[in-house]
Amino acid sequence: MSQRYADAYRSILPPDSLREKVLSTSDVPATQNNKGRIVMFRRFACLAACLAVVAAGVFVSGQKPQLQVNNEILSSVPAAASVPFAARRSMTQPVGLVLTTDSRTELSVQGGTMNIFSTDTQLLFENVTQCEVDADCIILLQPDAANNTVLQVNGRGLPAAYTLFADENGNYTLTRE
């Protein structure tokens, strides 16, 4: 490139205002100092937000509906395992279950009916075969004497079915399908 252009190019100098800006940057206390610090803060903020979302997802997904009887959480027992309970009761007596959920949960029953109570014992549904709840509740399951009773619980896309059996001694068994 001709020397003329090179000389013209090298005659360009930064404005004095830039020198002042840069020098004032080094005078500012480090904690209030620069854009880089803001960028770093934003990165941490983004990371924290992402972690919060992931943690919330894990936490919320862990809150699937839980069905309890005699303080035993039925949904935590292995599939096809049986939970015997309520010995020496007539098959026609209602069976009390506690459902723990914080999201919309569909309940349906075959071979019986159910009454649903809130945890403060308000009757929510009476003698229904299906309903929806979105909070903890108590299920009084009324089996038909002639049939096995199957309770289906479907919350957060995780359906589970529980079959109620009675043996000749009047002991109940709930089996998770």
Partner 1 sequence: MRLLDVGAKMKQQFSPSATALLYDRHAAQMYRTALAVLGNTQDAEDAVQDVFISYMRTLPQFTDENHEKAWFLRSVVNRSRDLLRRRSIRSHFSLEEATDLPADTKEDVSALFEALSQLPEKYRTVLVLHALEGFSVEETANILNAGVSAVKMRLARAREKMKILLKEEI
| Short-list 83, 101, 109, CA closest to 138 | 101
By CB under 8 A, tell whether 103 contacts partner 1.
no
Residues belonging to the chain: 177
By CB under 8 A, tell whether 1 contacts partner 1.
yes
Tokens, residue 37? 């610090």
Q: Quick one: 13 or 80, whose CB is closer to partner 1? A: 13
Q: Quick one: 41 or 126, whose CB is closer to partner 1? A: 41
| Short-list 73, 95, 93, CA closest to 83 | 73
Residues 4-23 interacting with partner 1 (rule: CB under 8 A): 4-15, 17-19, 21-23
Q: Quick one: 32 or 90, whose CB is closer to partner 1? A: 32
Beta-strand relationship, 130-133 and 105-110: antiparallel
Residue 115 CB neighbours (<10 A): 17
By CB under 8 A, tell whether 33 contacts partner 1.
yes
Query: Nearest distance from residue 38's CB to partner 1, in Å?
Result: 11
By CB under 8 A, tell whether 47 contacts partner 1.
no
In angstroms, the first-to-last Cα distance of the chain is 84
Chain contacts with partner 1 (rule: CB under 8 A): 1-2, 4-15, 17-19, 21-23, 25-27, 29-31, 33-37, 40
